[in-house]
Amino acid sequence: MMPEFLDTLKLFGGFVYLLMGGELLVRGALAFSKRTRIPAVVVGMTVVAMGTSAPELMISILAALSGHPDVAVGNVIGSNIANVLLVLGVPLLLYPIATNQPGLRWQTSLMIAVSIFFIVLCYFQPITIFGGISLVSVLVVFLIASARGVAILPNVEDAEEELKGIGLPSHPSTILLLIVLGCIALPLGADLVVRGGVGLAASWGIKESVIGLSLVALGTSLPELSTTLVAAFHKNSDVAIGNVIGSNLFNILAILGITAILTDIPVSADFMEFDIWVMLAASLTLWVAALLKGSLGRLMGAFYLGSYLLYIWILF
Amino acid sequence: MDIRTKLSLLLVAVSLISMGLLGAFAYRTSAGMLQEISIRQLDALAEGKKRDLLKVQQNWRRTIHLLTRHVVSQGRFNGIISSEKTAASQTLMNLISLYAEVNGIASVKIFDATGAEWVTVGQPSLAKQHLMPSTDIEYRGTIVTDAQAVQVVMAARIIDQGKLVGGLELTYDARDLISIAENLTGLGTTGEVLMFSGGLEGSAVTLLSRRRHIGAVQQGQKLEFAEMSADIQAALKNDVEPSSQVMDDRGQLVWMASRYIPELEWGLVVKVDASEEEVRSELLLTALVDIGLSVSAFAILGGALLGLYFARPVQQLVDVVQRFNAGENDVRATIQGDDEITYLAATLNDYLDTVSSPSKRTDDA
């Protein structure tokens, strides 16, 4: 009972540190960008995009480096599943989302292509440095294309709005303090999450991959869920779909790519048998919705949420 | 920096400092208790093994006593010796052989009152002059054979009808003793029980038990007393207090308890590497740090919520001023509650009333 409690506490504390670390890092980096007058579009594609993905990145790197690759891969696959089925499903119950947004068909197609590339890499596992470099290269290409206006990469938030935000420090020492604290809190939180997750898996007698796919993935998807929920309450759910696609692309291209560059990632057969196909199927539903150019409503929300609950039930 | 971030950072700093102080106290106390418990366990193990060794030794004493009685009971000892290889003598030899086999005795030697050998069964290891024991039963020494077997030699007087007629020397196979020493239950992965014979200052010391550490002094190896670490030397002279700051012969810091067995002149050392024992303390430290960090997460959440609580009305005041500047002369701050921010809102509303009043505007014009 005691180790279980301690591991749950670690998991909870880890997520809070990750959220705080990501927030501090983004705010510090934004303040730095504002002070050094780096163009907003560059800030958006680097600082904001990478900063908001820092918790997932840190968890995957730390898990892979500490000999728990199932947690790293499970985090990415589970996050992508949770993003579509949960992060989109819940706000859909509140307010419908239009799927005729400009560039959405292209973005969902890109997500499907990247997901298939990821499946191919998993099939020829382990994902080595070459796989990692190719994933990051794809990301860099699309970031450059987006910066030049050739392509639209979702979830690269409007940095100009971020730069106007209240509370950005102006003093260099405060900026440095935020960045340093962010850099300390992120690996600290990731370490607590990984050890808590692995400990819980051992206590409950389940595989580490299950913890990665469920608890860790859910924890890292909570910020996106809260953002989309707030947007849904303001009857502005349309941004949710862009956030989900952007997060899914970053999860595979950046998080898995950078982790694979640092260390080889073996992919468990369990993922190939079931979870990876759930991820692809969930992504395909978005792609079909984008092709049909209609709108996703409460029925789809209930379907997404029900599917997610069923998936979690099957996992455990 | 915004209020939310400031409050979160402040609360987490206070929380971490509090947790750090509490954790340091808890760690020091618990680590000390863990060490005390471990050392007590080592001491209890040493005492238990000493008692086991004494039991085996008492068993040997009983055996030699019984054999002496058998020898005497076979008839008058002098008569048997003088009759040389008589039937009685042969019966006695058969009895001794059988007895030796049953009781794990390596050799039996019987000698007369002058020290002249009468009969020997088995392969005696001590080929010395047969001195008559000074007491009824006497411990003569411990030896390690070429085959690395440990043997213990004991001697007894043979007294027939109140008259000293000869002596008996038994060489015991010390397997029972060694198995006690080599039972490492409760000693983890680095713990050992060392049995040394000898131990008088200036003499050589022989290690009787096998070691689990490669490269360490091994069974049967002789060591000069002076070569032993000071703590082991102390253990070979007398019982010493169990300790957690002892260097063993490998130069490793160990936690150790020891016993001295004067009847056998054996030193018994029960020890575990400090590094293994300290793992428990390190686990405790890690758990305390994890708890401290995780619980501090509540402070982060608390700080964020407090920050939102304080920042929202301030943000509303900022909105009011911005809208007023944009030309909304009727906009006023909501006055709710009785805190400083409410007072500020009321003051702001008064100021806006003054600024937007027609007379003020006329004066300004």
Least confident interval from A172-181, A267-276, B97-106: B97-106
Q: Could you give the number of structural domains in chain B?
A: 3
Query: Cβ–Cβ of B290/A10 closer than 8 Å?
Result: yes
A174 burial (CB, 10 Å; 0-12 / 13-18 / 19+) is: middle
Structure tokens at B357: 């009043």
Q: Do A17 and B290 touch (CB under 8 A)?
A: no
Question: Are residues B187 and B263 both part of a single domain?
Answer: yes
The answer to whether A7 and B286 have CB atoms below 8 angstroms apart is no
Q: How far, in Å, are A241, B6, B347, B350 from residue B344 at the CA level?
A: 42, 21, 5, 10
CA of B302 vs chain A CAs: smallest distance (Å): 11
Q: Tell me chain B's radius of gyration from C-alpha atoms.
A: 42
The residue type found at A287 is W
For residue A160 the two structure tokens come to: 């100009």
Confidence of residue B359 (pLDDT cuts 50, 70, 90): low
Distance between CA B346 and CA B323 in Å, rounded? Answer: 17
What pLDDT is stored for residue A187 in this prediction?
A: 83
Report the range out of A274-288, B115-129, B214-228 with the highest average pLDDT. A274-288
Per-residue confidence (pLDDT) for residue A161, from 0 to 100: 56
The distance of B29 to chain A (nearest Cα, Å) reads: 20
Asked whether the predicted pLDDT for residue B131 surpasses 60, the reply is: yes
CA of A2 to nearest chain B CA: how many angstroms apart?
11
Quick one: B63 and B163 in the same domain? yes
Q: Are B261 and B318 in a shared domain?
A: no
Is the CB of residue B9 less than 8 Å away from at least one CB of chain A?
Answer: yes
State mean pLDDT over A282-286: 91
Q: Which residue has the tokens 């400090």?
A: B274
**Average of per-residue pLDDT across A135-163:** 68
> What confidence score (pLDDT) does residue A2 get?
65
How many Cα neighbours within 13 Å face the side chain of A305? 14
- Determine if residue B115 is left, alpha or beta; phi over 0 gives left, psi from -120 to 50 gives alpha, anything else beta: left
- Find tokens 């029960």 and name the residue: B270
Looking at residue B101, its pLDDT comes to: 74
Residue B239 lies in a domain: yes
Residue A49 has a pLDDT of 62
**pLDDT value at A102 more than 80:** no
Residues B165 and B234 in one domain: no
Q: Mutating which of A5, A25, A166 best tests the B interface, going by the most B Cβ atoms within 10 A?
A: A166
Q: Of B256, B274, B292, at which residue does a domain stop?
A: B274
pLDDT at A68 over 70: yes
d(C-alpha A217, C-alpha A80), whole Å:
8
> From CA A132, how far away is CA A256, in angstroms rounded?
7
At A119, the pLDDT band (50, 70, 90 cuts) reads very high
Q: Which two tokens stand for residue B363?
A: 């004066």
pLDDT score for A77? 93
Domain containing B109: what range?
A: 54-171
What CA–CA distance (Å, rounded) separates B92 from B98?
Answer: 10
Per-residue confidence at A149, pLDDT binned at 50, 70, 90? low
What distance in Å separates residue A32's CA from the closest CA in chain B?
A: 13
Domain termination residue (choose one: B171, B205, B220): B171
The answer to whether A66 and A194 have CB atoms below 8 angstroms apart is: yes
Which structure tokens are listed for B158? 């043979």
| ipTM of this predicted structure | 0.71
In which band, very low, low, confident or very high, does the pLDDT at A117 lie, cut at 50, 70 and 90? very high
pLDDT above 90: percentage of residues in chain A: 20
Residues B163 and B202 reside in one and the same domain = no
Q: Stretch B110-120: mean pLDDT, rounded?
A: 79
Q: Looking at the domain assignment, is residue B20 inside a domain?
A: no
Q: Do A178 and B1 touch (CB under 8 A)?
A: yes
| Measured distance between the N- and C-terminal CA atoms of chain B, rounded to whole angstroms | 39
Q: Pick from A8, A9, A30 the residue to mutate for testing the B interface (most B CBs within 10 Å).
A: A9
Triad B190, B194, B198: Cα angle to 5°:
160
Mean pLDDT for the stretch of residues A150-175: 64
Task: Report yes or no: B296 at the A interface, CB cutoff 8 Å.
Answer: yes
End-to-end CA distance of chain A: 19
Q: How many Cα neighbours within 13 Å face the side chain of B150? A: 22
Between these two residues, B300 and A76, which has the higher pLDDT value?
A76
**8 Å CB contact between B261 and B285:** no
Encode pLDDT of B263-299 as tens digits.
778 888 888 888 888 888 888 888 888 888 888 888 8
Are residues B269 and B328 located together in one domain of the fold? no
Asked whether residue B166 falls in the same domain as residue B64, the answer is yes
Greater confidence (B121 vs B192) lies with B192
Structure tokens at A236: 């502005």
Task: Work out the average pLDDT over A174-203.
Answer: 86
Q: Which of B244, B186, B266, B251 is nearest to B215 (CA)?
A: B251
What is the rounded distance in angstroms from the CA atom of residue A113 to the CA atom of residue A89? 23
- With 0-12 / 13-18 / 19 or more C-beta atoms within 10 angstroms meaning exposed / middle / buried, residue B267 is buried
pLDDT tens readout for residues A189-210: 888 888 888 888 888 888 888 8
Residue B36 is assigned to a structural domain of this protein: no
pLDDT band at A33 (very low <50, low <70, confident <90, very high): confident
Would you state the pLDDT for residue B194? 83
CATH number of domain containing A145: 1.20.1420.30
**B48 shares a domain with B58:** no
Query: Would you call the peptide bond into A126 cis, given omega within 30 degrees of 0 as the criterion?
Result: yes
Return the sign of the alpha-carbon dihedral for residues B317, B323, B327, B328.
negative
B2·A192 Cβ contact <8 A: no
pLDDT digits (tens, 9 = 90+) for B18-53: 888 888 888 888 888 888 888 888 889 989 998 998
pTM: 0.69
Label residue B166 exposed, middle or buried (CB < 10 Å: 0-12, 13-18, 19+): buried
Contacts of A313 (CB under 8 A, 6+ apart): none
- Range of A134's domain? 2-315
pLDDT at residue A175 above 70?
yes
- CATH number of the domain enclosing B69: 3.30.450.20
Q: Given this model, what pLDDT does residue A130 score?
A: 92
In a domain, B355, yes or no: yes
A158 pLDDT above the threshold of 90: no
| CATH for B264 | 3.30.450
